[in-house]
Chain A
Amino acid sequence: ETGVTQTPRHLVMGMTNKKSLKCEQHLGHNAMYWYKQSAKKPLELMFVYSLEERVENNSVPSRFSPECPNSSHLFLHLHTLQPEDSALYLCASSPQAGLNQPQHFGDGTRLSIL
């Protein structure tokens, strides 16, 4: 079961392209997250949104631009990425950002930068 859906599942783009990753959750959660997982590295938190307001920006370069139009949708806009940005990007949601409750993950977007 996946209450968190990410599209596309795979994305190949050049360094000068602009693309967007999409995440949608059907769990009625109020908090959404973007994570990056590079090879042989732990998941790294990128952004946290609570009720559509960004509450955490984990020193992420400006070439990554998140957008949360409502509590069910989260986007990650990408532009002028670097080869080291190739990674698995995971979206997650949880009931509240301020409560210790498990986060639910999507299946991720595998991003390759040429």
Chain B
Amino acid sequence: DQQVKQNSPSLSVQEGRISILNCDYTNSMFDYFLWYKKYPAEGPTFLISISSIKDKNEDGRFTVFLNKSAKHLSLHIVPSQPGDSAVYFCAASVDTSGTYKYIFGTGTRLKVLA
């Protein structure tokens, strides 16, 4: 029973256009959300995060939107670049007795076409 779902396993976008990656969650106790990017043969790299008290966080070309009522977050990349081609993981954080645990989605493979 997955608490964090990324329903699109892959996405292709033309260079310069917007990439939108989606993530849904089921646990209303999640209070912090993160996006990680992973290249082949490398570990996940932290990209951007958002606290549940906000609905938007922006960092350069990357913006994360949080819709708590819909239990949905999305990552927007504008403009998309070929170097953005990677697998993107959504993660949600929950406090379990003083330790924060991350629950990850299965990832979306983004391909940015030149």
Contacts and interface: CB of A to CB of B under 8 A. Distances in A.
B105 A42 contact: yes
Given A41-B106, A42-B106, A102-B49, A107 B100 contact: no
B106 A40 contact: yes
Nearest to A31: B99
Given A2-B43, A102-B34, A107-B43, A97 B100 contact: yes
Contacts, number: 57
B2 A55 contact: no
Interface residues of A, number: 25
Contact of B99 (A48, A90, A102): A48
Given A100-B31, A102-B34, A90 B43 contact: yes
Contacts of A92: 43
Contacts of B43: 2, 4, 6, 90, 92, 105-108
B101 A48 contact: yes
Interface of A: 2, 4, 6, 40-43, 45, 48, 50, 55-56, 90, 92, 97-100, 102-108
